[in-house]
Homo-oligomer: A and B are copies of this chain.
Amino acid sequence: MRISELSTRTGVAIPTIKYYLREGLLHSGEQVAATRAEYDDSHLRRLRLIRALLEVGRLPVAAIKKIIEAVEDESLPVHNLLGTAQYALGPVVEPEPGAEWQAARAQVDRLIEERGWSVAAEAPARNELTQTLVRLRQLGLSTDLTPYAAAAQRLVSEVEMDTIPFDGPRETAVEAMVLGTVLFGRAFDTLRRLAHESESAHRLLLRPPPS
């Protein structure tokens, strides 16, 4: 198909598609004439991936680029590929100096070990979680993350992983993983806010009058 059809079918404006082509987020079409390139289903899929990561995942273009480079690097084994894609999803959090950070980081490492999770020592999510714990502690909020870890493990192992086609082409597996992480993550966050609104309505507006 031509770039105009690609634009109509994905809802992405032509100048934006050209920008993705220049930035290397989208692979080139097949040049069929001096001024015309032909695009196919792989371009449709890729544009939908980019749009979901941008709009729903609110990822910066640099992070999306890292994910796409990992998808395209055929020499990367699937597990490393998933790792790279996964690592690009979170922000980079630098450790802070001091004992407070060290204690929180030790708590994160202990939590991962207690759950029996296989997570690389250099996984950036360890520092990200450490930062959250430090802030929770500074603000006097609970730092018990056990119920959250249990809920995350249940959702990932019982629901999400079964939707990833590990035996198909590598690109399909990593796309499913990245999109699932971003979209279901956003869905869960929104559902939690809806549940908050409902619970606070019940507790504040609908509770029985004091006897």
Contact B195 A141, beta carbon cutoff 8 Å: no
Binds B, one of A14-22, A23-31, A65-73, A81-89: A81-89
Whether A118 touches B56, Cβ cut-off 8 Å, given contacts A180-B141, A191-B149, is: no
Which chain B residue shows the least CB distance to A151? B151
- Does the CB pair A52–B135 fall under 8 Å? yes
A2 at the interface (CB under 8 A from B): no
Q: Is the CB of A132 within 8 A of B56?
A: yes
Once A58-B91, A183-B136 are accepted as A-B contacts, the answer to whether A204 and B166 lie under 8 Å apart by CB is yes
Question: When each residue 170-211 of chain A gets 1 if its CB lies under 8 Å from chain B and 0 otherwise, what string results?
Answer: 000000110111011111111111111111111111100000
Counting chain A residues whose Cβ lies within 8 A of the other chain, the interface size class is 35 or more
A110 interface hit (Cβ, 8 Å):
no
In contact, B204 and A152 (Cβ under 8 angstroms): no
Contact A129–B191 (Cβ < 8 Å): yes
Q: Are A187 and B156 in contact, with the CB atoms below 8 A?
A: no
Q: How many copies does the complex hold?
A: 2
Residues facing B in A115-163 (CB within 8 A) are 115, 117-120, 123, 125-126, 128-129, 131-133, 135-136, 138-139, 141-142, 145, 147-149, 151-161, 163
Q: Which residues of chain B come closer than 8 Å to A157, judged between CB atoms? A: 195, 199
A125 in complex: contacting residue of B89, B197, B205, CB < 8 Å: B197
Which residue in B51, B90, B189 is a CB contact (below 8 Å) of A193?
B90
Decide: A191 and B55 in contact? CB cutoff 8 A. no
Can you sample 24 A-B contacts with CB below 8 Å? A48-B139, A55-B131, A58-B91, A79-B200, A82-B200, A90-B190, A115-B198, A117-B194, A117-B195, A118-B201, A123-B194, A123-B197, A128-B186, A129-B194, A141-B176, A141-B179, A148-B191, A152-B191, A156-B196, A156-B199, A161-B200, A161-B203, A164-B200, A189-B189
Top 4 nearest A-B pairs (CB, nearest first) are A117-B198, A156-B195, A152-B191, A118-B201
